[in-house]
Structure 1
Amino acid sequence: MDFDVLVVGGGLSGLSAASLLAKRGLKVAVVDKATHPGGSCGAFRREDTLFDQGSSMLFGWGEKGFNAHRFLFNCLEEPIDIIQHELLYCIHFGDTKVRFFPNIEQFIEELVPLFPDEEQNLRRFYHDMEKLYTHVMVENPSYTTPDEVDRKAALESMRHHPISYIRFLSYLNKSARTLLSKYFSNPKIFNFFDKLTSTYCYTTVAESPAILSSVMFVDNHVGGSYYPAGSTLFLTGKLEKVIEEHGGTMINKSEVVSFTTNQGTITGVNLADGRKLTADQIIYSGTVWNLYGKLLPAEATTEKRRTWAEKQVPTYPSVALYLLVDKEAIDEGTIAVEMLIGNIDALDEAEVTVYIPSVDDKTICPEDAHVVMAIGPSFADWSPLDEDPYKQRKEEEINRLITVLEKRWPEIGNHVRHVELATPKTIERYTLKNGGAVAGPKQMLGNHMFKRLHIRTEFSNLFCCGESTVMGTGTPTVTTSGIAAANAVLKQRSLEPFIYDNRRKAYVRLIDPPFTKDLLFAEDSPELRTIRLAARRCLYCEHPSCCEGTDLDVPGIMRRVTVGNLKGAKRKMASAGMDSYKVLESSCIREEAVEIERVCFHLNSLT
C-alpha cells in the first residue's frame, strides 16, 4: 500500500499530526499496535464504566495561555465539548491541603500559611514569572517546537519584549533550583516546588531546566485544567474522525517492526504480520529507544547516534490502578485531581496522583459510583517474574496502592466494585513505552530541549513527534510536537502550514461541571441521539464474540458512532461486505445485547 504520509503510532501526538495532514488533503495512514487509538490518552470500558488509560487531566484548552489543543481543533474545524475544572487540582503536602486556584493571587494566599516567611518572595516570584509568561507565550502565540521556530517570526516577537525574551533564553541551561534560589531561602519551599516539577515532568527542581519550569509554574493557572466531556475517548476519537472523514486510514492491531531505508531516506515500514507499507514521508511518534534500537537498521545509523539514544535517561516506571468504587467512599470535598505526597523530602512510591473524573463528568460510570485512577512510580523490578509471582506482586501492589488511597479516603478499600492494575510491563505491552516509563526520556539538564530527539531527523523524509522530542511530556507539549511534525511535512511539500490566526472560528466549547447524561449528544436529532446512545453501550471488547468468524469490527464501528464518526464507521462496516447484522446481537456478551443491527441499518441509510 502506498501513502503520502505514514504515521507510526496512534497516540495523541501521532493523531494530531495525521489529522492536520488529512485536513490538507494528503493520503495519510496511522499504524498502531493497539486495538483502539489513543495510546496513553486512550480509554477502555469495563461494563458501564469508562476508564482513562493514562492522561486524565488536560491542559491547553483555555482561551488564554499555551492552548495547543484549542489551536488544533480550531484548525481542524472539529467541534468538541470540554469540561473546565473549577480548581486545577490540589496537593496534600504533609498535613496541608494546597488548592491550586486559576487565580494566581488566590493561589498565593493558599501558600502563605504554609510559608509565612516567604510571602513577599512568593508574590515577587509569581509576578515575575507571570509577566515573563505573558510576554513570551501569551502575546505572541506560536504552536511549534523550539527546533522548528521560524527565525524571522521569533525575532519579530522578541522585538516587542526584548528583556523578557533575553531573560527567558538565559534559563536554557540553568536549573529550576537556580532560578528559585534567587527568590527563596526556606528549604521546605524547595521541597514543595520539587513536587510540582515531579508532577509536571517527572523531575526535581535540581534536574528541571528553568526555561521549562518557569512556564509550568504559571501556565496551568492562566490556561486552566480540563477534561473531555464523556472521557478521553472523545478527544482521540474526534482526531480519528477528522482523519477518516478526509480519506485517511487507521491501521490498528498492527505493530511496525522495522523501517526500510534506501540512500538516506525511509521508504516504508514492515509490519509484524508480514505486510509492507510505503510512503513518501514517515512521522514516528514512539520512543527514541525503539527508533534507534529496534526500527532503524543498524547500517542506516551510526554507532554514535545509537549510543546517544541509548543514553537518554528514562523517567521512572509507573503503575496505574483503576478502581470503580461506591459513591459514598469519596467525600463531598474531593476534586477531580488530587496529588498525594508520601514523603515531602524525597520521591517514594507513596507519591500518587489520583484522578476522579466522575466528580465532574457524571456520564462515565453508574450514578452511585466513582471512577478512580491512581498513578505513581514503581521501583520494583517486574521484568524477571514468571506468571504466578507476577500475579502475586500485582495483588501486593494493588493492596499497597489502596492503602495509600485510604490515608485520604479511609473507607475506599471497603467499597471497591472493580479493580485492575497496569504494571510497567502492562504499560510497555500496550503503549511500547520502554520499561513502563510513561513520560519517555527525562526532561532534565543534560537530557533536555535540543539534546533530545528533534522533529527533523538525519533522514530527509523521517519526522518525529511525541514525548521523546524537544518539548518532552504532557498533553499540550506532545500535541505541539504533532503540529510541528505536520507543518514540517507540509513545508517539505510546499503546502501551507497551520499557523496562528486570531480570526479562526472557535470550535472548542467549554462546559461548567457537572456534565450529566442528559447532556450526552443533546444537540443531535432524536434519531441520531438514540443511535449514538445505543452504540455507546458497546464494551469495545478486544476479542469480541459478536463478530467472530466475520471481518466486521463491531467494537470499532460502535466506538466511532459513539464519538460521532459516522463516515468512518460506515467505511469500516462496508469493508466487511455483510448483508445482515441481526445474528451478531445473539453473541453480544451483554445481558441486554447492543442494538448492532439498528446502528448498522442507520449507517447504511446514510448517503
Structure 2
Amino acid sequence: MDYDVVVLGSGFGSLTAAALLAKRGLRVGVLEQAKYPGGCSSSFKRKGYWFETGATTLVGLDEGMPLRYLLDEIREEVSLQKLEPPMQVHLPNGETLTRYGYLEDWIAEAERVFGKHSQRPFWEHCYKISQQVWRTSLQQRSFPFSNLRDLLLSVARARPAQLHLLPAAFRTMEDMLRHYDLLQDKLFVDFVNEQLLITAQNKLEEVNELFGATALCYTLYSNYYVPGGLINLVNPIVNYISRQESRVLHGQKVQRVSKEENGYVTSTSKGSFKSRFVISGLPLNNTMQLFDDKKIQQTLQKHVMPSEMLNGAFTMGLVLQGQSIPEVLHHQVHVPEGLPLIGSKSIFISFSHPEDTLRAPAGEVVASISTHVKHPEQNVIEDKAVIQAAIVDALVRQQLIRRENIVYEQTATPGAWIFWTQRAYGAVGGYPQYQHVKPWQMKDARLDHKGAYLCGDTVYPGQGIVGVCLSGIIAAEKLLQDHAV
C-alpha cells in the first residue's frame, strides 16, 4: 500500500508529525510494532488494570508550548485534571518538599527547606530562562540549522530575547549553582541532581543552563493528570489521523528502509510500504540499523550515543487496595544509600487518581514506579526481587504505601524494555544532556536531505512528552518547507 509519508513508530513525536502532515492533506501511514500506540507516552492493560508505559507526568499545555500548539492545530480536546501541587520530594534528611506550581509558593518552600541564601535569585533566574526557552521553541522551528534556508528563516524569526539565551548554552548547571553560591549545600545539590535526572537524564555538571533551568522549572507550569492513563492523550491524536484518511497500523515491526528513485520502501514483519517521504520516530541507535544507505549510517554515527552514555529503567506497577492515597499524586523519594545492584539514589512513584475508575475499580489505585539504570547494556539485572524489595521498603518508610495493601505487582528491567519497545539496550527517557553537545549540535530533523526525517527523544530537543512533541512539529515543518507539499 502506498502513502505520501510513512512514519516509523507511534511515539508522541511520530504521532505529532503524522497529525500535522495529515492536516495538510498528505496520506500518512504510521507503523507500530506494539499493540498500543504512543510508545513510552502511553498506557497498557494487564489483569484488568491500566498501567503507564513510561511517562506519567504531563506538561506543555500552557499558551505558547508545543502540546498546546498541536491540540490547537488539529482542534482536538483531551480530558484533563490539573494537579496542584504537582509533586512532592522526600529528601535524605527526612524533610518532605512540596513542589508548588506557583513561583512565589515554591520559593517560600525552597527557602523553608534549604534556607533563604540565594534561593530566590536562583529560582527567579531559572524561571525566566525557562519562559524564554519555551517562547523561543515554537518561534524557531527551523532549529537546529542544516541548510541555508533554515538559517535565513531563523534570522527572520529572531527576537532580541532569543540572543540573550546563547550564553546559557555554554554554562552548566554546576556553573549556575556556583554563581549563586549554592554548591556547598549538599542537600540542595542532591535535590537538583535527582530532579535533573527526571527530565534531563543527567546531573548538574553535564546539563547546560538552557536545558537545566527549563527542566527544573517544569513543575512551575500547568501539570495534568489524564483520566484513564496517557493512552487517553494518545487516542484523540490517533483518531484525528484516521479521520484524515491516514492510518496507524499495529503489529508492523520495521525491518528495513531502502531508498528508491521516487521515494522509499519500508519493509516490515507483515509486508512492505512505498512512500515519497519517511519519518523515523525511533531512537537513533535503532534508526541507523534500519536504513541501508551507507551515507545515512555514517551521518547518524556522529550522533549516536553508546550504552555507557544512556539510561535504562527499572519499573514497577502496583495495585493497591484500601490504600489512603496522598493528595499529591507524584513523588520522588531519595535513597541516599543507593538501591542494590543498580545504585540509583531516587525513586519516582505516581498514583492513579482515587476517583479514576477507568484505571482501577473503586477502592483500588494503580501506582507506577521507576528508577534509573545506568549503562543498561552492561547492567543486566538477574535478581529483580532484590531491587523490588528495596523499592517497596523505601516507599513503606515514607508512608506512601502499606505493604499489606499490595494486591498485585509487576516489574520490568531494561531487558523487558527491549522486548516491549525494541529500543536499543532498553534505553528510555531519551538521550541525556551532555555539556559537550550544544543544542545546535544535536541531530536535527533531516536524515538525508532528500525525503527522510527524524523525530523523537534522541533528536533535538530531547526528552519528555513536550520535547518529543516539539520534535514532531519540527520534522513536519521541515518536510513541508523542503518540498512545498
Fold in common (TM above 0.5): yes
Amino acid at match of 2:180: Y
Distance 1:209 1:277 in 2: 41
1:358 deviates by 2.1
Q: Highest Rg: 1 or 2? A: 1
1:305 deviates by 4.6
Aligned to 1:338, the other structure's residue is in SS state: strand
Higher strand share goes to which structure? 2
- Could you say which residue in structure 1 is the equivalent of 2:236? 238
Contact 2:169-2:438 within 8 A present in 1 as well: no
CA spacing shift, 1:266–1:421, aligned 2, 3 Å: farther
1:187-336 → structure 2 map (5 Å cutoff)? 187-188=185-186, 189-221=188-220, 223-262=221-260, 267-273=264-270, 275-292=271-288, 294-297=289-292, 299-301=294-296, 303=298, 305-306=300-301, 308-309=303-304, 311=306, 314-328=309-323, 330-331=324-325, 333-336=326-329
Aligned to 1:144, the other structure's residue is in SS state: coil
Aligned to 2:165, the other structure's residue is in SS state: helix
CA spacing shift, 1:48–1:371, aligned 2, 3 Å: same
Contact 2:80-2:226 within 8 A present in 1 as well: yes
Amino acid at match of 1:13: G
Amino acid at match of 2:348: T
Amino acid at match of 1:341: H
Contact 1:424-1:436 within 8 A present in 2 as well: yes
1:417 aligns with 2:407: yes
Residue in structure 1 matching 2:120, options 105, 119, 123: 123
CA spacing shift, 1:187–1:157, aligned 2, 3 Å: farther
- Could you say which residue in structure 2 is the equivalent of 1:537? none
| Identical-residue share of aligned pairs (%) | 18
1:420 deviates by 1.0
- Could you say which residue in structure 1 is the equivalent of 2:100? 101
1:287 deviates by 0.8
Distance 1:485 1:242 in 2: 19
Contact 1:191-1:344 within 8 A present in 2 as well: no
Contact 2:376-2:426 within 8 A present in 1 as well: no
Aligned to 1:378, the other structure's residue is in SS state: strand
More moved, 307-316 vs 282-291: 307-316
Distance 1:380 1:169 in 2: 31
1:39 deviates by 0.9
CA spacing shift, 1:250–1:133, aligned 2, 3 Å: closer
1:349 aligns with 2:347: no
Contact 2:376-2:425 within 8 A present in 1 as well: no
- Could you say which residue in structure 1 is the equivalent of 2:353? 358
Deviations for 1:519-574, whole angstroms, at most 9, x for unmatched residues?
A: xxxxxxxxxxxxxxxxxxxxxxxxxxxxxxxxxxxxxxxxxxxxxxxxxxxxxxxx
Aligned to 2:144, the other structure's residue is in SS state: helix
Aligned pairs, number: 477
> TM-score scaled to structure 2, two decimals?
0.90
1:127 deviates by 2.3
Residue in structure 2 matching 1:338, options 314, 322, 331: 331
1:71 deviates by 1.2
Aligned to 1:399, the other structure's residue is in SS state: helix
Contact 2:307-2:375 within 8 A present in 1 as well: no
CA spacing shift, 1:425–1:326, aligned 2, 3 Å: same
More moved, 457-466 vs 6-15: 457-466
Aligned to 2:169, the other structure's residue is in SS state: coil
Contact 2:308-2:374 within 8 A present in 1 as well: no
- Could you say which residue in structure 1 is the equivalent of 2:433? 443
1:398-409 → structure 2 map (5 Å cutoff)? 398-409=388-399
Amino acid at match of 1:208: V
Distance 2:297 2:231 in 1: 40
Contact 1:325-1:415 within 8 A present in 2 as well: yes
Distance 1:194 1:75 in 2: 36
1:479 deviates by 0.5
Deviations for 1:488-541, whole angstroms, at most 9, x for unmatched residues?
A: 22223324xxxxxxxxxxxxxxxxxxxxxxxxxxxxxxxxxxxxxxxxxxxxxx
Amino acid at match of 1:84: K
- Could you say which residue in structure 2 is the equivalent of 1:605? none
- Could you say which residue in structure 2 is the equivalent of 1:559? none
CA spacing shift, 1:128–1:155, aligned 2, 3 Å: farther
CA spacing shift, 1:384–1:443, aligned 2, 3 Å: closer
Contact 2:414-2:425 within 8 A present in 1 as well: yes
Amino acid at match of 2:229: S
1:214 deviates by 2.2
Contact 1:315-1:437 within 8 A present in 2 as well: yes
Distance 1:466 1:451 in 2: 16
1:142 aligns with 2:132: no
Contact 2:318-2:409 within 8 A present in 1 as well: yes
Distance 1:323 1:348 in 2: 22
Residue in structure 2 matching 1:183, options 175, 180, 183: 180
Residue in structure 1 matching 2:162, options 165, 172, 175: 165
CA spacing shift, 1:411–1:91, aligned 2, 3 Å: closer
Deviations for 1:207-234, whole angstroms, at most 9, x for unmatched residues?
A: 101111122333430x221122322121
Contact 2:8-2:30 within 8 A present in 1 as well: yes
1:84 aligns with 2:79: no
CA spacing shift, 1:122–1:344, aligned 2, 3 Å: farther
